[in-house]
Structure 1
Amino acid sequence: MTLAVDLFFSFRSPYSYLALPKTLKLVEDYDLAVNLRPVYPLAVRVPGFFKKANPQFARYIVLDSRRVAEHEKIPFRFPRPDPIVQDMTTLEVAAEQPYIYRLTRLGAMAQLEGRALAFTAAIARVLWDGSVTGWNEGDHLARAAEKAGFDLAAMDAAISSDPDRYEQVVADNEKDHAASGHWGVPTFTFEKEPFFGQDRIDLLLWRMQGKGLMRR
């Protein structure tokens, strides 16, 4: 029997991106379905979050995510531009957010098609692997989406014609994420048990193996 895991994911989270290679390997090696469910990042989900957090919080994430990427040999650089429009000096988050709403709704559309992991893995690389500056310009995203079997222009058009449909998917994801037992991303949930962070995938695998997870 194929086991199933939910993965709550944010396009702005370095750890979400860093979790993708191991997640893809799990699906390749084991009889496992990963239902990737995009949520908005904390900067949007929790207004004022960064202003309330310890100033060392963001600095440590920058240091640690680069270190994890180096250790795991994952190509990595913080996206240019940042998917969230935020003044990192004042930590003020802009009212207008042209990038993260588009990315998250696209992920929601792929989720409805049951292919969010493949779509997100393709798109997230463009943002995070350092190969592109100006990921939001030109055809960078379109070419990545096409390689994963998606027509980005058609997706954008469908979302523009009915944005509330995809906002509802994201809202449902955020509701279930909040009920999962953790607030951060990436959070994997298996049989209502949360596993937070890219460094808990081995523990998740151990748990699933105890529940009969089989190799392909």
Structure 2
Amino acid sequence: MTLEYDLFWSFRSPYSYLVTPRLLELERDYDVRCNVRPVYPIAVRIEGFFKRVNPMWPPYLMKDTYRIAEMLGLPYAWPSPDPIVMDLKTGEVPAEQPYISRLTRLGVAATEAGKGLAFLREISGVVFGGVRNWHEGDHLKEAAARAGCDLAQLDALIAGNPDHYEAVITANEAAQKQAGHWGVPLMVFEGEPFFGQDRVDHLVWRMEKKGLKRRG
């Protein structure tokens, strides 16, 4: 029997980017299915979050994510532009968020097309992989094609029914909260949450107890 788990994931989360190759390897090597559930980042979901955050956290996050990327052999740089439009001095996050809104809706559309995890990997590899102005030119188009998606078709689907994609994102965020955590990446297997890019081994351990088998 193929086991399944939910993946709550954000296009602004470096840890989400860093975990995705391992989740693809997990699906490649084991009889398991990842249900991709894109959510908006906490900067959007929690009003005023970065006005209250401990000032020690952002510098540590940068050190930690660069270290993990080096350890994993992944290209890494903070996105330019940032997927979140934000005043870095005040922590103010305006309501209008063109980059993260498009990316998150695209994640939903690609998931509904059966290409969710591959799409996350390819797009985040552009956003966090050191590509400047990732939102311009053919960067996203080519990344989507590597995942087996047509970017223009996905954009057209979203333009034709934006409320549907927002409703899916809202439902994903509610399910994430119901699972018992607010952060990403969050893997949830049979109601049990596994938070963080360093919890893949714990997830596999739990699923092996439930009969997880290697492919082949």
Which stretches in structure 1 are left out of the alignment for 5+ residues? none
Q: Distance in 2 between matches of 1:101 and 1:19?
A: 22
The answer on whether the counterparts of 1:10 and 1:186 sit within 8 Å (CA) in structure 2 is: yes
Q: Distance in 2 between matches of 1:150 and 1:24?
A: 17
Secondary structure of the residue aligned to 1:96 is coil
Query: What's the CA shift for 1:8?
Result: 0.2
Indicate the residue corresponding to 1:190 in structure 2: 189
Which region of structure 1 is more displaced relative to structure 2, 95-104 or 85-94?
A: 85-94
Indicate the residue corresponding to 1:199 in structure 2: 198
Q: Normalized against structure 2, the TM-score is what?
A: 0.97
Indicate the residue corresponding to 1:177 in structure 2: 176
Which region of structure 1 is more displaced relative to structure 2, 104-113 or 195-204?
A: 104-113
Indicate the residue corresponding to 1:52 in structure 2: 52
Q: Distance in 1 between matches of 2:146 and 2:54?
A: 40
Runs of 4+ in 1 over 4 A off after TM superposition: none
Q: Distance in 2 between matches of 1:58 and 1:180?
A: 26
Query: What's the CA shift for 1:21?
Result: 1.2
Q: Distance in 2 between matches of 1:212 and 1:182?
A: 25
Secondary structure of the residue aligned to 1:136 is coil
Once superposed, what is the RMSD of the aligned Cα atoms? 0.9
The answer on whether the counterparts of 2:36 and 2:116 sit within 8 Å (CA) in structure 1 is: yes
Q: Distance in 1 between matches of 2:45 and 2:121?
A: 22
Q: Distance in 2 between matches of 1:95 and 1:105?
A: 16
The answer on whether the counterparts of 2:38 and 2:108 sit within 8 Å (CA) in structure 1 is: yes
Which region of structure 1 is more displaced relative to structure 2, 35-44 or 52-61?
A: 52-61
Aligned-pair identity in percent equals: 57
Which region of structure 1 is more displaced relative to structure 2, 171-180 or 50-59?
A: 50-59
Query: What's the CA shift for 1:91?
Result: 1.3
Q: Distance in 2 between matches of 1:88 and 1:60?
A: 16
The answer on whether the counterparts of 2:115 and 2:148 sit within 8 Å (CA) in structure 1 is: no
Secondary structure of the residue aligned to 2:122 is helix
Query: What's the CA shift for 1:112?
Result: 2.0
Which stretches in structure 2 are left out of the alignment for 5+ residues? none
Indicate the residue corresponding to 1:28 in structure 2: 28
Q: Distance in 1 between matches of 2:42 and 2:190?
A: 25
Indicate the residue corresponding to 2:9 in structure 1: 9
